[in-house]
Every structure is written in C-alpha cells, then in structure tokens.
Amino acid sequence: MTSPTDHIAVHARLRRLGAMMIGSLIIEMLLGTANALWLKLPDTGSGWSSATPMWLVSLHMIWGLAILFLAIWIAVLAWRNKIAKWNLWNLAGIIGIIIAFAGGSSFLSEVSNNGASFTMAVGWAIAIGAYALALVSVD
C-alpha cells in the first residue's frame, strides 16, 4: 500500500511526463512539417532510399521512437500504481502513436500516398488529444 504522499508524487510525475509528451508531440509535428517543406522525394515509388536530406527523415523517425518509449514509460508507471485514468488516456495515446507510425511507414513506402500523410496527422491528433485530456481529467 502506498502512502498518500507517494500517491501525490506519482501523480505529479505522471503530469510532468504527460507535459513532456505533449511537448515531444509538438516537436514531432514540427519535424514532420519540416520534412513536408524541405524533403525531396521521388514522385512515385519508395522514399526510403531516395529521400534527401535523409538526416531530416531520420531525425523525425528517431524522435517518433523516443515518443513511443516515453509512452511506454508512462504506461509502466501508471500500471504499477494502478492509476486507471492515466492507463486509459495513455492507451489512447499509444494507439494514436502507432497509427502515426503506420502512416509514416506507408508514406515512405509509397510517397504518392496522400492517405498515409493524413493517417500520420490523425494519429498525431489522437495522441496529443489523449495526453491533453489526461492532464486535465486526472486528479
């Protein structure tokens, strides 16, 4: 059994991690926008080997992986401390992150696929919405 002080500390930590997640998702969106503006991709086919500047795509993908790891960290903390609302909102956030990952992978596999770009945006919106709701709805 945790003490009330421990419970408050865990909630404060989750709130900090949730705020970090929102900031990280905003940075990810800005990286995606930078890719849309400056990335040179072929009109058709795969963008995996022909994207320039490749460092910008790589940074976008690495930041996305960091976001997934942060979501897992939040999930473990919420699960161990049995904080149901954080578990619920974090699950919704992870689903959004996975949707965005799927859209990104699909986009680079077939760069003329506008639906994949839209899928990334939908996943991002689900994720940032979930973490924003976690911050305002969790005691």
Domains of the chain with bracketed CATH: 4-137 (1.20.120)
CA distance 7 to 57: 40
Q: Return the pLDDT at 23.
A: 97
At 70, the amino acid letter reads L
Q: What does the mean pLDDT of the chain come to?
A: 87
Calculate what percentage of the chain has a pLDDT beyond 90.
61
Instruction: Give me the pLDDT at residue 42, please.
Output: 62
Convert the pLDDT of each residue in 47-91 to its tens digit: 555 555 678 888 999 999 999 999 999 999 999 999 989 999 999
| Interval 120-134 mean pLDDT | 96
| Helix/strand/coil for 9 | helix
Task: Please report, in angstroms and rounded to a whole number, the separation of the first and last CA atoms in the chain.
Answer: 19
**Confidence band, pLDDT 50/70/90 cuts, at residue 108:** confident
Would you call 39 exposed, middle or buried from its count of C-beta atoms within 10 A (0-12, 13-18, 19+)? middle
What mean pLDDT is predicted for residues 103-108? 85
Rounded Cα gap, residues 20 and 18, in angstroms: 5
Q: Is the pLDDT of residue 93 over 80?
A: yes
Angle between helices 4-38 and 54-80 (to 10 degrees): 160
- pLDDT, residue 114, reads 81
Distance CA 6, CA 83 (A): 13
pTM above 0.75, yes or no: yes
Q: Are 106 and 131 in contact (CB under 8 A)?
A: no
